[in-house]
Amino acid sequence: MKLFSYVFLLSGIVSAQTPQRTLSDLDWFTGHWVMRSGAVIIEEVWLAPAGELMTGMSRTFNGTRVREYEFMTIGIDSVGTAYFRALPSGQKGETFAAVRREKHSITFENRRSDFPQRIIYRRISDDSLAARIEGVMNGTERGFDFRYQKIKN
């Protein structure tokens, strides 16, 4: 009986230390987001987490012409770490590991990527989302901010 108690206690300790293997806490950036800057419009659309995967797409256009597009996924790897995978405009994809994860923000990083090396998403409010890409470009630290508003469909 004593052995059973120790095993039960030990299993509780181990499960409490297991890495977070869910994306349900990232549902705050599910939806259709738009940023306008002059004639340029950038959209991101994210589907809710399902099966421990989120899928998204982005497109940047000026008037009726799409300049860039990107297919994105956020998932959980085999050791329980969230990752961001981007496939920009038909180019070779890049994967970024989550290095910081808080209630309403997440930072992904890949130091081997040409640019960006970091991707940051942060919820401002229910209808406002901030995104930032940053890293070294041509020997200089650079960063670009994107402020999205949620579109009510």
Q: pLDDT (tens digit, 0 to 9) for every residue of the chain, 153 residues total?
A: 444 444 333 344 443 444 456 899 999 989 999 999 999 999 999 999 998 999 999 999 998 899 999 999 999 999 999 999 999 998 999 999 999 999 999 999 999 999 999 999 999 999 999 999 999 999 999 999 999 999 987
* Interatomic CA distance for residues 49 and 75, integer angstroms: 9
* Interatomic CA distance for residues 26 and 137, integer angstroms: 29
What domains does the chain contain, in order, with CATH numbers?
A: 20-150 (2.40.128.20)
* Interatomic CA distance for residues 14 and 30, integer angstroms: 31
Model confidence pTM above 0.75: yes
Residue type (1 letter), 121: Y
DSSP labels, 13-36: HHHHHSPP---GGGGGG-EEEEEE
β-pair type (65-76, 82-88): antiparallel
Q: Which residue in 28, 41, 11, 3 sits closest to 106, CA to CA?
A: 28
What tokens were used for 153? 């469909």
β-pair type (40-46, 65-76): unpaired
